Every structure is written in C-alpha cells, then in structure tokens.
Amino acid sequence: MAKFCPYCGNPVRESDKYCIICGKPLIVDLPKLKKKEAEEKLQKDLEEIKQEPIIKEKENRQKEEKEEEIKETEIEDKQEEQEQKSEKKEIKPLPEDVKHQIELYAEFSDIQFHKKTLSEKLLGISKMMKDEKYELDYDYKEKTNIKFKALKTLIQELKEREKEIENQMDDVFIIQKLNNEVEAKTYQLKNLTREYRLKKVDPDTFDNLKNRYKKEKDEIEQNRTDLKEGMKIWIGELKVEKTDIIGSLKLNKGQFSSKEIDKETYEKNRKDLEFKLKKTNAKIITLEKLTK
C-alpha cells in the first residue's frame, strides 16, 4: 500500500522518516496521537475514580434509605399487630367479691382516719376538763361534758363498725395473696432445680414437675395481671364519677346563688354530694395503694 506525505501529498517510502520533498517528519503524528489518547484515557480514569466515592455514597444512601423504609414498614406492621392484639384482648371485669373487699378496705382506712381525728379532739376536751373554769363555770362544765360524751359515743360507734369490717375482710388482700403464691412457685422451681443438680430427682420427674410449677406460676401471674387491669379500669371510672360529683357541687352552689333552690335544699344536696365525693376519693386512694 502506497504511503503519501500528509503535508505535501507526494509519495514516500515506508522506511522514510522525513518527506524528501517538503522535509517534514512522517511519524511524528503517531506518538502525539497515542499520547493524546493516553491522556484522554487517564483523564477519564481519573474522573471515574473521583466519581467512585460519590457513586458509592449515593448507592449507600439509597441502600440506607431503603433499609430505613423497610424498618419503618416493619415497625408500623408490628405496632398495627400489637394494636389489633390489644383490641382483641378482652379485659376481664373486676369480680364483685374483690370490689366488695376493696370497699371494705376503703371504709376501714376511713375509720382509722376518723378515729385519729376524734381522739385528738377528745384529748383537747380532756385538757379543758382540767381547766379551773371547768370547776367554776357550770355552763362551761355542762357544754364540755356534752362534747366529751358525744365524742366518746362516736368513737365507740367507729370501733364497733371497725370490728364488723374486720370480720368481713380477708386476712390478706387478693393481690398480696397472689404475690405470695408467685413467690412460693418461684421457690419451688429453684428448689426443684437444686434437687435435680444434686441428682436427687430423675430427669423425667424434673421435667414433669418443672412444667407443672411453671404452668401454675404463669396462671397465677395472669390472674394477678387481670385483677390489676380491672382495678385500673375501676380507678378510671371512679375518677370520672369524682369529676361528675364536683360538677354537681358547683351546679348546686350556682343554683343556690341564683335562688333556684332554697338554703335547706342547697345544704342537703351539698352534704349528700360531699359524702359521695369523700367515699369516691377513699376508694380511689385505696385502689391506687392496692395496685402497687
């Protein structure tokens, strides 16, 4: 194949390094071309290298975002599942016998408070009876004696009611009783494990007893949980009742202020509502103590 000078177009030989006509070099273009290609490739490689961290960062970010999205979806699914389980879980109503025991505890606690208050008042009257005025002033003496007898009567009535309640109350409240049973089952399991390690119990007996004790313990704990949940629900109901009573007290006062009711009706309503409020408060306080 004929070769021509790229500058003047005259034919040249393959071995010629310079054109014999114009004298310009014939192979100078090749190194330049190779160098240019090499430089372009190097530049391209450098650009790719520079882009690698950015691309990797972008890929990692996309991967993290996808993983985060998956996690959020899983969390939402779990929350939805838990909510569905909670909705399906039926909380057992508090048994009437347990409610009765709680009411007894509340009344018993209220009696202790009143006994203490009356005893303090009785102590004050005893001091009055030691005053010189008690011996010198007949009217003062009579009034003091009447107060003293009234307080003694009230204290005696409270003691009688206290005795009645004690006879009706369980020796141990159900929650504490269940706590004791859980502790007993826990001890049984520990003792069984110790006996097994000492090779005093064979494997089959160990497995059977372990499963039985664990099942009994789980049932007791579930019973305790159900009772506590029922008590919490009752606390909520009582707090609503308390709010209603407070509202009724305000309404009663407003009706009296606007002369819709007379003083006698107002006082009667006030005493009845305050008594209900006091009883409701006592139940709430007792329930909150017993659920701890």
- Residue range 14-33: average pLDDT? 65
* DSSP-assigned letters across all residues of 157-226: HHHHHHHHHHHHS-SS-HHHHHHHHHHHHHHHHHHHHHHHHTTSS-HHHHHHHHHHHHHHHHHHHHHHHH
**Among 267, 277, 271, CA closest to 243:** 277
What is the pLDDT, as a whole number, of residue 56?
64
pLDDT tens-digit map of 49-93: 556 566 666 677 777 777 777 776 777 666 666 665 544 456 677
Listed by start position, the domains of the chain span 3-65, 95-171, 173-292
Confidence of residue 36 (pLDDT cuts 50, 70, 90): low
CB crowding 260-280: b at 16 or more within 10 Å, else e: ebeeeebeebeeebeebbebb
What is the pLDDT, as a whole number, of residue 88?
47
* Positive or negative: CA dihedral 92, 93, 95, 98: positive
pLDDT of residue 276 exceeding 80, the answer is yes
Lowest mean pLDDT among 23-32, 187-196, 228-237, 241-250: 23-32
What distance in Å separates the CA atoms of residue 105 and residue 112, rounded to the nearest whole number?
11
What distance in Å separates the CA atoms of residue 161 and residue 292, rounded to the nearest whole number?
27
- Identity of the residue numbered 99: K
Q: In a 10 Å sphere around its CB, with 0-12 CB exposed, 13-18 middle and 19+ buried, how is residue 167 labelled? A: exposed
